[in-house]
A and B are shown apart, each in its own frame.
Chain A
Amino acid sequence: MDIDKVFKALADPSRGYLLDLLHRESGQTLTALCMHMDMTRQAVTQHLQQLEEANLIAVVWQGREKLHYLNPVPLHEIHARWIGKFERDRLDVLRNLKNKLEGKDDDKT
């Protein structure tokens, strides 16, 4: 999988937000996602297409419904490539500190 495609797909706030929506609830339809997006259905479709080409989302057909899933495998490969195996705990501490100071209760993500 082309890692450039992953970064290009991530380098857009709308696509980042679509991934946030799928992280909150994986397996959503286009219609469900469109309810949270301030753009045309066609534009959302194009963003989803780009995310799918980067392998950041996976698509499953369930009957007549097309469900979109966040696929974290390419992100894990980025993580594995640049984050050392002993850095994880220190990075978790930093993130928890930042979230606490900024008042975000988001320790689990």
Chain B
Amino acid sequence: MTKPSFVYVTYIATTPEKLWQALVDTDVMRQYWFGSAGCARVNVSDWKPGSKWEHQRVDETRTVDVVGRVVENNPPHRLVITWARPTEAEDESKHSRVTFDVELQPDGFVRLIVTHAGLEHDPKMLESISGGWPKVLSNLKTLLETGRAVLRAAPAK
């Protein structure tokens, strides 16, 4: 097992079930997951182990930027997916792996840990992802704690 490229942690005042729903339900996802171009994104799948998932833009094009497979689905505790460019969907050696761990803390907060491993051979993907996750996680926290959708980021130049 290679060591993770990134580990992101956030504490959210919510329940594990609500957080889980935000990870798998596109109606919630589109309210906090924005890409660098400011366009909302959703992850579409039936979330069964072995099933495919797609990272889609929420616009007319429905462009798919990332694809992968569901490795593990243990609600509301752990979701593991593989992560790849659509052009490399069939080449599993190029897939990285994202793990979402949801843990209820003694103080009532829910800890979300996002671990992204297997990016060391793909500096370009690593760079684009390292900018994206903190924004997505901080938007997710705001949405769950305030119930308000987050303002979209300014378009990147």
Per the bound structure, the CA–CA distance linking A58 and B10 in Å amounts to 10
Asked if B129 is at the interface of the complex by the 8 Å CB criterion, the answer is no
Does B5 touch A at the CB level, under 8 Å? Answer: yes
Say how far A58's CB is from chain B's closest CB, in angstroms.
4
* Count of A-B contacts judged by CB separation below 8 Å: 54
Contact at B154–A60, with CB atoms within 8 Å?
no
B104 is an interface residue with CB less than 8 A from chain A:
no
Residues of A that sit less than 8 Å from B by CB: 1, 26-27, 55, 58, 60, 62, 67, 69, 71-73, 75-77, 80, 85-86, 88-89
In the complex, the answer to whether B153 meets A69 with C-beta atoms within 8 Å is no
Contact between A71 and B8 (Cβ–Cβ < 8 Å)? yes
Q: How many residues of B contact A (CB 8 A)?
A: 22
Residues on B close to A: CB < 8 A?
1, 3-11, 113, 115, 134-135, 137-138, 141-142, 151, 153-154, 157
Chain B positions within 8 Å of A62 at CB level: 1, 3
Known: A80-B142, A89-B154. 5 other contacts (CB 8 A): A58-B8, A60-B7, A71-B9, A75-B134, A85-B154
